Amino acid sequence: MKFSLGEICESIGASLEGDPELMIEGVSSLQETNPARLCFAENKQYLEQVRSGAAGGVIVDRDFPDLPGHRLLRVENPRHAFIRVTEMFLEPARVEGIHPAAIVHDSAQLDGQVSVGACATVAADARIGELTIVQSGARIGPGVVIGRECLIEANAVILDGVTLGDRVIIHAGAVIGGEGFGFVWMKDHHHKVPQIGTVVIEDDVEIGCNSCVDRATLGVTRIGRGTKIDNLVQVAHNDQIGEHVIICGHAAIGGSATLGNGVIIGGAATLRDHVTVGDGAMVGGTAAVAAKVEPGMSVLGIPARPVDKAKREIAAIPRLPDLLKAFKAQKKEFEALKVRVAELEGNGDPRE
Amino acid sequence: MKFSLGEICESIGASLEGDPELMIEGVSSLQETNPARLCFAENKQYLEQVRSGAAGGVIVDRDFPDLPGHRLLRVENPRHAFIRVTEMFLEPARVEGIHPAAIVHDSAQLDGQVSVGACATVAADARIGELTIVQSGARIGPGVVIGRECLIEANAVILDGVTLGDRVIIHAGAVIGGEGFGFVWMKDHHHKVPQIGTVVIEDDVEIGCNSCVDRATLGVTRIGRGTKIDNLVQVAHNDQIGEHVIICGHAAIGGSATLGNGVIIGGAATLRDHVTVGDGAMVGGTAAVAAKVEPGMSVLGIPARPVDKAKREIAAIPRLPDLLKAFKAQKKEFEALKVRVAELEGNGDPRE
Amino acid sequence: MKFSLGEICESIGASLEGDPELMIEGVSSLQETNPARLCFAENKQYLEQVRSGAAGGVIVDRDFPDLPGHRLLRVENPRHAFIRVTEMFLEPARVEGIHPAAIVHDSAQLDGQVSVGACATVAADARIGELTIVQSGARIGPGVVIGRECLIEANAVILDGVTLGDRVIIHAGAVIGGEGFGFVWMKDHHHKVPQIGTVVIEDDVEIGCNSCVDRATLGVTRIGRGTKIDNLVQVAHNDQIGEHVIICGHAAIGGSATLGNGVIIGGAATLRDHVTVGDGAMVGGTAAVAAKVEPGMSVLGIPARPVDKAKREIAAIPRLPDLLKAFKAQKKEFEALKVRVAELEGNGDPRE
């Protein structure tokens, strides 16, 4: 795939300093420039890197200094423009149909142009929307409903009765619809609480590699539209995750938690069962949320508390060992002073 | 499947206020009542929800207030009774035999009524007990022994020579019998310590989605009867996990650890290599156990310490920044006071 | 497989006290000795265990006491010698060729003696070096390059275009080459940043079960020669991991992090995006690295700080509750003392 610099400028609304006829074959980072590839510089801090590079062109902002001899594509937001250009060069996902070694149950309903890879399985009564791709080794359980233009990567597992919207991406090895972890102690054993609810994943959601989303005990575990979840994340039974939420790698959301819209959960953060995190709140990396987080609030620490408070406390801890020493020294001096005062008072006993 | 209210009452030993002929088709939560479904209210705190709902019947305890117009099923323990009713409505697992696209080695021994799903594999010399279900894409390695009535979910992996008891559930994507993580530095490289031990999982154990249980370096990694392990948990080489243990999601148990019977490990807790956790001990969520935990003790925090101690310390930390300020202010005042005492003593030098 | 004690002594350079003709059939731990098996005792602390055991022979160091009636094999380093003996008894990996139920694309290039298990898939243009074993259910994506003598365990996934060196082990369920987690907010949605980079894994690397290594956004996520990674570890996009690094279970490495050679990352430790950890540095278990770690430094804690400092602070925290009390008591006494000094000065107001 190739595009001329002129075509690219037109598609991202850039003004160009340089030759519009030059053919571009792809993109690169600013660290590894290539005369046939385009890169971007977020701002003028990267001036030297741009000057010393040999890119086919560099997307920069309106304020970037002139650099004679370099092809600058000036735009409002270089990062966004670079993403658009990268997308121009993406190969469209190949719709390859049903592989002869795929196992699709007779009762499954596949819309037009669905791909199912080798050794993938689609169980009874499953329904898959058009242009969806099920990669090799993925498991689509009985009664699962998948929308259009989804991607179910290799060896991902969608268990019985789960529902996915349109343009959902389930990355390799993720498991959607595992049983919630619920037991009650009955006399002499942990007795399983039947997990008969399901999972609903709305449009444009992405679930990372080897992440797990458990089905509800009763009702629905829901992941709202546009939410993006990284690798190795646990979403437990009955969680209600809002829209456009970000959950970074290794985070663990306890059962029956509620996350509002636009929430951001940092890497390896943990949320206790039943907590609520309000719209637009941010939970820092490794924070342990044990109580409600109000909308818009940022929290940090173990246990999680407002970020300013947490930072002040975290900064104070290194001063504690010296404080302990200083207090001990002062205490001694204080006792000595009390004796002196008692002596001045003509009284041998310093304690009153 | 349908049961009359009368049948249900009989099976859970409930007294009934209402029509025993009414047919019930399933269960629901108290939040989403349905005239054909049964729900439960743990205690009278849920009185308003019961009153405003439209359930086919509500399982309540003996002390729950009368509610004319509602069908109340009175029992000793509403939660337990509700679980029993839910189980009445569960579809029995379908034994579907060996799928034509399953690959079962000639030397494998399968008892009667075993199911092996599409694209699942059963390797040489594996043995599988009756009524066990191996879902699609699951891998049963060479020489693996699996008891009766087990469920090996989709894409789970049981590696060479591992032994599973009866009624064991291995959830989707879990890996049992991976090599322990053991290396010694030899001159110029980390040299692998051969991991030639195995894993034994006793009866009624459940292992969550994408969890990992490593084989022993020598000997056996053992998971005791009735133990339940959540998703994304690591159980390392040579761990000895007792009976009826609960390990919540994202917990990581270091190598050669010993957990007694009835231990509870909270979510995302970590245990250092070689630690011992005594019978009935509880490790709080995100706690980091670095030393022995005595039987029956509850620990919390990083590093883990007795829960009362940990809570007192965690509550004290927010007061540290103010303490540092107050101490500094007091120190100044104290120095001033010393000068004044020295003056009273007729001595210009406050230090002696 | 059997070897005589004499043969074993020769291969590990041991002097022998006992019968060189005795045939040995394997190894065991010191806890479960067997007259036909060899075990080892790291040092003389294990004297009693050796004395009471019934091993076919015990590998000990030069200083170990004589034990008449026991066959001692004296060497410089008993642990290393025991590993060597264990390796003598390992079955060589069986090269079994392409299973009839494996799906290998016509355009894939497999060197001689490659094994591909049942229901494994090798996609278009993949290349696999000789003696490499791809177990059942593993996925080798389009254009993947795998060196010689590698082991790709059951249900592991190697996505498009990833490159593996020689003797690489990818354990069961691991995913190599998942998309990096990168989004930018565009008006009303998190817009995916195309992840068009790749992953390069060098010779002799091992990646644990269900771990994830993401591809770079642009360029390469690299894991250096001889590095060993445990189970359930996240390596994010664009990470540069040095040679002979150890990363223990449940660790999470943020995006664009740089780890030098010989770094050790403890279990469940986390590294923030973009941090650098210098050659030979050690990050303790559960530590949260938020800033650069200098070469050779050991860090601990949340946030991670030099280990001595961290330990001093962690030891100080339990003293904080008492300090708060003591300070409050002293403050009261101090105010009283000020009044007394003021009285001595003939001035009723203690504050000046």
Contact C183, C165 (CB under 8 A): no
Query: Could you say which of B139, B183, B234 has the minimum Cβ distance to residue C155?
Result: B139
| Residue B323 belongs to some domain of the structure | yes
d(CA B191, CA B204): 37
Q: How many domains does chain A have?
A: 3
- Identify which of B246, B256, B290, B292 has the alpha carbon closest to the alpha carbon of residue B270: B290
Residue C288's SS3 state is strand
C308-332 mean pLDDT: 95
**Residue pLDDT, tens place only, A14-39:** 998 888 899 999 999 999 999 999 99
Shortest alpha-carbon distance between residue B49 and chain C (Å): 37
Catalytic residue among A105, A237, A250, A274: A237
Q: Is residue C293 part of a domain?
A: yes
Which pLDDT value is given to residue C17?
Answer: 81
**Confidence check: pLDDT of A85 > 60:** yes
* Same domain membership, residue A292 and residue A256: yes
Strand, helix or coil for residue B238: coil
Residue C256 has pLDDT above 70, yes or no: yes
Residues B191 and B297 in one domain: yes
CATH of the domain at A230: 2.160.10.10
Cis peptide before C68 (omega within 30 of 0): no
Substitution target from B82, B136, B202 for chain A, most A beta carbons within 10 A: B136
| Per-residue confidence (pLDDT) for residue A95, from 0 to 100 | 77
Mutate to test the interface with A, among B205, B241, B247, B286 (most CBs of A within 10 A): B286
What does the alpha-carbon distance between residue C151 and residue B247 come to, in Å, rounded to a whole number?
Answer: 31
Verify that A271 and A217 share a domain, yes or no: yes
B333 and B305 share one domain: no
Interchain pair B252, C268: CB under 8 A: yes
**8 Å CB contact of B254 and C267:** yes
The overall average pLDDT reported for chain C is: 95
**What residues of C are in contact with residue B309 (Cβ under 8 Å)?**
318
Give the pLDDT confidence of C197-231 residue by residue, as tens digits: 999 999 999 999 999 999 999 999 999 999 999 99
Cα–Cα distance, A146 to A140 (Å, whole number) = 9
Q: What is the mean pLDDT of residues A209-232?
A: 98
Residues C330 and C326: their CA atoms lie apart, in Å, by 6
| Residues of C involved in catalysis | 237
Neighbours of chain C (3+ CB pairs under 8 A): A, B
Chain B environment of C90 (Cβ under 8 Å): 194, 196
Q: Is C268 a domain residue?
A: yes
Question: Distance from A107 to chain B by nearest Cα, in Å?
Answer: 15
DSSP of C95-142: ---B-TT-EE-TT-EE-TT-EE-TT-EE-TT-EE-TT-EE-TT-EE-T
Spatial separation of the C-alpha atoms in residues C29 and C49, rounded to whole Å:
11
Give the residue from C257, C259, C181, C245 showing the smallest Cα distance to C207: C245
Residue owning tokens 């030759």: A19
Residue from the list C172, C244, C338 with its beta carbon closest to the beta carbon of B337: C338
Q: What is the pLDDT of residue B96?
A: 87
One-letter amino acid for residue A83 of the chain: I
pLDDT, residue B347, reads 58
CATH code assigned at B20 = 3.40.1390.10
Chain C residues lying within 8 Å of B219, measured CB to CB = 28-29, 31-32
| Residue range A277-281: mean pLDDT, rounded | 98
In a domain, B96, yes or no: no
For residues C183 and C289, state if they share a domain.
Answer: yes
Quick check: A352 pLDDT over 70?
no
Same domain, C285 and C336: no
C347 and C218 assigned to the same domain = no
Q: Do A137 and C121 touch (CB under 8 A)?
A: yes
Question: With bands split at pLDDT 50, 70 and 90, how would you rate the model's confidence at A75?
Answer: very high
Q: Mark the ranges of chain B whose per-residue pLDDT is less than 50.
A: 350-352
Q: To which residue do tokens 């943020």 refer?
A: C254
* Contact across the interface for C321 and B327, Cβ inside 8 Å: no
Nearest neighbour of B312 by CB, restricted to C28, C208, C321: C321
Note the pLDDT of residue A96: 87
| E runs forming strands in A226-301 | 228-229, 234-235, 240-241, 246-247, 252-253, 258-259, 264-265, 270-271, 276-277, 282-283, 288-289, 298-300
Q: Which of A171, A231, A320 minimises the CB distance to C320?
A: A320
Contact A107, A89 (CB under 8 A): no
Same domain? A229 vs A348: no
Write out chain B residues lying below 8 Å of C317, CB-based.
313, 316-317
pLDDT tens readout for residues C110-167: 998 999 999 999 999 999 999 999 999 999 999 999 999 999 999 999 999 999 999 9
**How many contacts, defined by CB atoms under 8 Å, are there between B and C?**
176
Report in angstroms the alpha-carbon separations of A114 from A96, A134, A149, B304.
Answer: 8, 8, 9, 52
Of A192-196, A215-219, B17-21, C346-350, minimum mean pLDDT range = C346-350
Tell if the CB–CB gap between A191 and B327 is shorter than 8 Å.
no
Closest alpha carbon to A54 in A31, A73, A74, A75: A31
Among A89, A209, A332, the strongest candidate for a mutation testing the C interface, having the largest count of C CBs within 10 A, is A209
Nearest Cα residue in chain B from C302: B302
Output the six-digit token pair for B170: 């291995």
Residue C249 has pLDDT above 50, yes or no: yes
Touching partners of A (3+ C-beta pairs < 8 Å): B, C
- Answer whether B29 sits within 8 Å of A173, measured CB to CB: no
Query: How far off is chain B from A19, nearest CA to CA, in Å?
Result: 52
**One domain for residues B124 and B256:** yes
With beta carbons less than 8 A apart as the criterion, state whether B173 and C173 touch: yes
Quote the CA–CA distance of B202 and B223 in Å, as a whole number. Answer: 6
Q: CA B95, CA B131: separation in Å to the nearest integer? A: 7
Residues B130 and B152 in one domain: yes
CB neighbourhood size of A338 (10 A) = 20
Helices B320-344/C320-344 angle, 10° precision:
30
CA distance C94 to chain A (A): 24
Chain C residues within an 8 Å CB radius of A80: 184, 186, 191
Question: What is the domain extent for residue C76?
Answer: 3-89
State the ipTM, two decimals: 0.95
Q: CB B83 to CB A210 under 8 A?
A: no
3-state secondary structure of C336: helix
The answer, yes or no, to whether residue A272 has pLDDT greater than 70, is yes
Q: Looking at the domain assignment, is residue A258 inside a domain?
A: yes
Of A89, A119, A153, which residue sits at a domain end?
Answer: A89
* pTM reported for the whole predicted model: 0.96
* Position B95 in a domain: no
Which of C223, C234, C250, C324 best tests the B interface by mutation, with the highest count of B CBs <10 A? C250
Kindly tell me if the per-residue pLDDT of C350 is higher than 80: no
Chain B partners within 8 Å of A237 (Cβ): none
Residue B190 known to be catalytic: no
- Within 10 angstroms of residue C148's Cβ, the number of other Cβ atoms is 18
* Cβ within 8 Å, pair B226-A320: no
Q: What was the pLDDT predicted at A346?
A: 82
- C-alpha closest to that of A105 among C121, B99, C137, B116: B99
B15 in any annotated domain = yes
Task: Please determine, for residue A179, whether its predicted confidence score (pLDDT) is greater than 70.
Answer: yes
DSSP type of residue A193: P
Task: Please give, rounded to a whole number of angstroms, the shortest distance from the CA of B161 to a CA of chain C.
Answer: 14
Contact between chains at C189 and A318 (C-beta distance less than 8 A): no
Chain A environment of C117 (Cβ under 8 Å): none
Which stretches of chain C are DSSP H helices? 5-12, 47-52, 78-89, 307-316, 320-344
Q: Which residues in chain C are closer than 8 Å to B319, comparing Cβ atoms?
A: 324
pLDDT at C96: 87
The minimal CB distance from A119 to the residues C103, C288, C312 is found for C103
Cβ-Cβ contacts under 8 Å between A and B: the total is 174
Is the residue at B346 inside a domain? Answer: yes
Is A341 within 8 Å of C336 when comparing Cβ atoms?
Answer: no
What gap in Å lies between CA B181 and CA C82, rounded to an integer?
Answer: 17
Q: Hey, how many other C-beta atoms are within 10 angstroms of the C-beta on A175?
A: 31
- Pair A69, A35: CB distance under 8 Å: no
What lies within 8 Å, CB to CB, of A343 at 6+ separation is none
Q: Which residues pair with A220 in a beta bridge?
A: A198
User: What's the average model confidence in pLDDT over C179-190?
Assistant: 96
- Give the type of residue at C23: M
Measure the CA–CA gap between A207 and C288, rounded to whole angstroms. Answer: 24
Query: Chain B residue closest to C243 (CA)?
Result: B189
Cβ contacts of A5 within 8 Å, gap of 6 or more: A16, A18, A19, A20, A21, A22, A23, A24, A56, A57, A71, A73
Dihedral in degrees, nearest 10, Cα atoms A185, C250, C176, C215: 120
SS (H, E, C) C157-179: EECCCCEECCCCEECCCCEEEEC
Query: Which chains share 3+ C-beta pairs under 8 angstroms with B?
Result: A, C
Residue C125 · residue C104 · CB < 8 Å: no
What are the Cα distances from residue C6, in Å, to A255, A318, B255?
A: 60, 59, 34
User: Under a CB-based contact definition with an 8 Å cutoff, are residues A23 and A8 in contact?
Assistant: no
C5-24 pLDDT per residue, tens? 999 999 999 998 888 899 99
pLDDT of residue A347: 58
Q: Within this chain, do residues C192 and C323 fall inside the same structural domain, yes or no?
A: no
Taking CB atoms and an 8 Å cutoff, what residues of chain C touch B334?
334
| Residues whose CB is less than 8 angstroms from the CB of residue B141 and which lie 6 or more positions away in sequence, other chains included | B123, B126, B157, B158, B159, B160, B161, B162, B177, C154
Question: Taking CB atoms and an 8 Å limit, are A172 and C179 in contact across chains?
Answer: no
Contacts of C219 in chain A (CB under 8 A): 28-29, 31-32
Residue at a domain's end among C63, C89, C115? C89
Task: Return all residues near A325 (Cβ < 8 A) that are at least 6 apart.
Answer: none
DSSP A100: T
Residues B334 and B305 in one domain: no
pLDDT for residue C352 is more than 50? no
- Across the interface, whether the CB atoms of B317 and C314 are under 8 A apart is answered no
Residues pairing with C98 in the sheet:
C116
